[in-house]
Structure 1
Amino acid sequence: MKIQLLLTGNELMSGHTVDSNSAMIAQQLGAKGYNIARKVTVGDDRVKLLEEMQLQSQASEVLIINGGLGPTADDLTAQILSELTGQAIEENAIAKQHLIEWCERHKLKLNEANLKQAMLPTGIEIIPNPVGSAVGFFIHHNHCLIICTPGIPSELKSMMKQTIVDLICDQFPNNKQPSTLRFQTFGIGESTLQQLVNNQLVDWPEEVELGFRAGMPLLEIKLSIQDSKHTQLQQDCYQHLYRLISDYIVGSDSTNLAKAVIQLLNQQHSRLTTAESCTGGLIASAITENAGASSVFEAGFVTYSNAIKQNIIGVDKMILQTQGAVSEAVVIAMANGAMARSGADYAIAVSGVAGPDGGSAQKPVGTVWIAWGSRDKLKACKLRLNASRKWFQQMVMAISLDLIRRELLGIEKEPRYLSRYSE
């Protein structure tokens, strides 16, 4: 079965609005074993929209039209669908009643502009909109199920979950039970991983699709199957990958580095503190944005100036004068001082030159010292990250959390990024 999407609106064509709806539609349908064959975006142009509706309805079993159901003159979907199907426009009683109730809930007066949303082709069937003012609707034409949906993401999401997915499943049932196993990695790139698979897992089964979604800072790996009968193959592939890259695997589904660290600290009944200079509290923020962080994180210190490093966490003035703020001795002192004042068992400390100014020949922009570990076992490394200030800070945050994650897991193997970014 072929499903096509037609996205409408000048705002999509101009870039003023970023299309997130097609991804959401694909994800919800994909979970039921249906794939999107093609998507097209067209501006608010009557001729082009009619032409595209005609072409797509002839070439697919399902056409989902997204957008163009609002109250303004450039919302054209209902009128063009009327031309396509030869169904006259009339006031739809169900759509009008929905508008009346929507206006009452929002204490608004129903006006002529809103009533435009009730003027729909005859022969359509209504798809309820539990959130917004414009109902959706569907009709069959050219042996194609044409589904018209509002463009507002929150409205579309509710309608997909409550009605549209079931509508497609009922009219085009399939026996597939697709499944995707997702896990997050840090410190290994997709090309490196793909080469490892090519070299060491040469019998990779075609029933299991290996996919990647690169983000910042994590790389998501996806193992997808189209039928539950291949679940064991999916699990076998995961085990093969785990043996190859276990130290780079942060966790499953949508976890992140901070969540992984929090979980490990909870398991070990330990607490962490941070002492940050160049990241300005970004590491502490990444930790505390997760619910339950207070069980393992009681204090973090943003010590941006040398005076605060001395006065708040006790970094010796002589060390700062002789070694400089961006040095191994200083980040070790920062980590020890933060643990002493917070009572934490582990610490992360960072000091660097985020740029774009402030570097020197000895310590150029992008230089950072990171210390991590416990009172009895502190480690430190010097890295050089040549990038924008924002990317530098994000990477220092991610690397720091990954280093403490590895320490908590007892991983002795050195991650690739230490050699990649070392001077």
Structure 2
Amino acid sequence: MQSLILPTSDGKTERYSLTGVPVRPTGKSSERSRIAYAAAHVVADPFVDNDPWLTPAIDWDRTIAYRRHLWDLGFGVAEAMDTAQRGGGLHWAESLDLIRHAMEAAGPEDKIACGCGTDHLDPADARTLDDVIAAYEQQIEAIEKLGGKLILMASRALTKVAKGPEDYAKVYDRLLSQVREPVMIHWLGDMFDPALKGYWGTEDLDAAMETCLGILENNAAKVEGIKISLLDDQKEVKMRRVLPEGVSMYTGDDFNYPSLIKGDEQGFSHALLGIFDVIAPVAAAALGHLAADEIAEYDRLFAPTVPLSRHIFKAPTNFYKTGVVFMAYLNGHQDHFTMIGGQESARSTQHLAELFRLADTAGLFADPDMAAARCAAVMNVRGIAQ
């Protein structure tokens, strides 16, 4: 099946014929010049009789198989992050189970870093900074007990109780003083999570950056890197150039990742990206070319993935997980388009149709016939007769 009926922007339909040439995975490469983590999604279990909006049901076999797929391509796995619907259907108890399963599955050479936050503390119940610190400490202890590397995620509860930049410094100084090994810090913008508006004590991004840099400077020995997800490449480059010695930048910019990873004469960003879940085979090939200083081929491979990524992460950006899971379904990594929290409904039929076109252009369908047949099935259910 090399064609299907898709909706068009004028409310009509068209027969779309696939034209993309699949980009074949290159596998692990010891020649990588950048560290690259993919923030991995979870696969829901559609056979559990649960209340999807309230209780997540996870297909552990398929979820872990996808992590092995990423490891086999040479990526590290950023576990239990927002791509895994953390804070949007995936609760702390299930997140810890996810971390445990992934840690057990990881081989000696497989990179894994684990999201650590305060999501078991309802922001409405947070009264003091000590409440937030205690919540972070509970998750730190649980993850470190499993031997996990920490990614300190932004806290909705801290946003609620902090009165200014000094409160953020107090919390992070306290936490970083007690972690066993250097961590990654994640600055997640409010476009990904509106509850994080004003993180670091201000809505002024330059002032927020200064607060964050001060925390990094004071705790540089306990910080491996910082991941910023602001979808603003100039802010990232500005911060990257003044990081304390020994602290690396990990881009979380799903709009501008090719240029940020490639870098400039003053440095580059490593990567910790949700879009790498979607474009893993192409990204693996592109990173191999970058390591070989084959910049034209790096640019050629990544270029068509950018319109796709910008589409998947378009506002409201916090619904990007729907596109991530849709792509996993189209590529055969799961047998259904069902998500925890029922979030398969979070994007329109038009959005999914355009995603399909862009993914085809980028050569992201390993089996175009299967991808077309699966997309056609979703279109049928959504009223686009085939």
TM range (shorter): under 0.3
Instruction: Pick 1 or 2: higher relative contact order, CA cutoff 8 A, min separation 6.
Output: 2
TM-score (norm: length of structure 2): 0.24
TM-score (norm: length of structure 1): 0.23
Which is higher, the Rg of structure 1 or of structure 2? 1
